[in-house]
Protein backbone atom coordinates (compact mmCIF):
# COMPACT_ATOMS: atom_id res chain seq x y z
CA UNK A 1 0.00 0.00 0.00
CA UNK A 2 1.23 3.49 -0.84
CA UNK A 3 0.24 6.43 1.34
CA UNK A 4 0.73 9.98 0.14
CA UNK A 5 -0.65 13.30 1.25
CA UNK A 6 -2.32 15.87 -0.96
CA UNK A 7 -2.35 19.53 -0.02
CA UNK A 8 -5.11 21.07 -2.10
CA UNK A 9 -4.08 24.66 -1.53
CA UNK A 10 -5.68 27.80 -2.88
CA UNK A 11 -4.59 27.41 -6.49
CA UNK A 12 -1.62 25.10 -7.08
CA UNK A 13 0.00 22.05 -5.49
CA UNK A 14 3.76 22.39 -5.48
CA UNK A 15 6.17 19.53 -4.88
CA UNK A 16 9.86 19.15 -5.53
CA UNK A 17 9.29 18.00 -9.09
CA UNK A 18 5.80 19.18 -10.10
CA UNK A 19 3.32 22.03 -10.04
CA UNK A 20 -0.32 21.06 -10.70
CA UNK A 21 -3.75 22.59 -10.27
CA UNK A 22 -5.18 22.13 -6.78
CA UNK A 23 -8.78 21.64 -7.88
CA UNK A 24 -10.33 18.23 -8.43
CA UNK A 25 -13.72 17.60 -10.00
CA UNK A 26 -15.65 14.36 -9.50
CA UNK A 27 -16.78 12.89 -12.81
CA UNK A 28 -20.13 11.22 -13.51
CA UNK A 29 -18.57 9.10 -16.26
CA UNK A 30 -15.49 7.02 -17.03
CA UNK A 31 -13.05 9.40 -18.74
CA UNK A 32 -11.59 8.58 -22.15
CA UNK A 33 -8.12 9.81 -21.14
CA UNK A 34 -7.56 7.41 -18.24
CA UNK A 35 -3.97 8.58 -17.75
CA UNK A 36 -5.29 12.02 -16.75
CA UNK A 37 -7.83 10.74 -14.23
CA UNK A 38 -7.57 9.77 -10.58
CA UNK A 39 -9.58 6.74 -9.49
CA UNK A 40 -10.31 6.75 -5.77
CA UNK A 41 -12.88 4.87 -3.69
CA UNK A 42 -14.91 3.89 -6.75
CA UNK A 43 -15.06 7.41 -8.25
CA UNK A 44 -13.12 9.18 -11.02
CA UNK A 45 -11.66 12.66 -10.58
CA UNK A 46 -9.84 15.08 -12.88
CA UNK A 47 -7.91 18.30 -12.38
CA UNK A 48 -9.85 21.51 -12.86
CA UNK A 49 -8.95 25.18 -12.89
CA UNK A 50 -12.35 26.03 -11.41
CA UNK A 51 -12.11 27.50 -7.93
CA UNK A 52 -14.65 27.51 -5.16
CA UNK A 53 -15.96 30.82 -3.92
CA UNK A 54 -14.63 32.07 -0.60
CA UNK A 55 -18.11 33.34 0.22
CA UNK A 56 -21.05 31.13 1.06
pLDDT tops 60 at residue 8? no
Distance separating alpha carbons of residues 16 and 50, to the nearest angstrom: 24
Domain boundaries, the chain: 18-48
pLDDT of 34-52, one tens digit each?
Answer: 777 888 899 988 888 777 6
Q: Is the pTM of this model over 0.85?
A: no
Torsion of Cα atoms, 41 then 56 then 7 then 39, to 10°: 20
Amino acid sequence: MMIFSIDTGNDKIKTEGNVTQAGLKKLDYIPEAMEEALYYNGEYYMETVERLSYYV
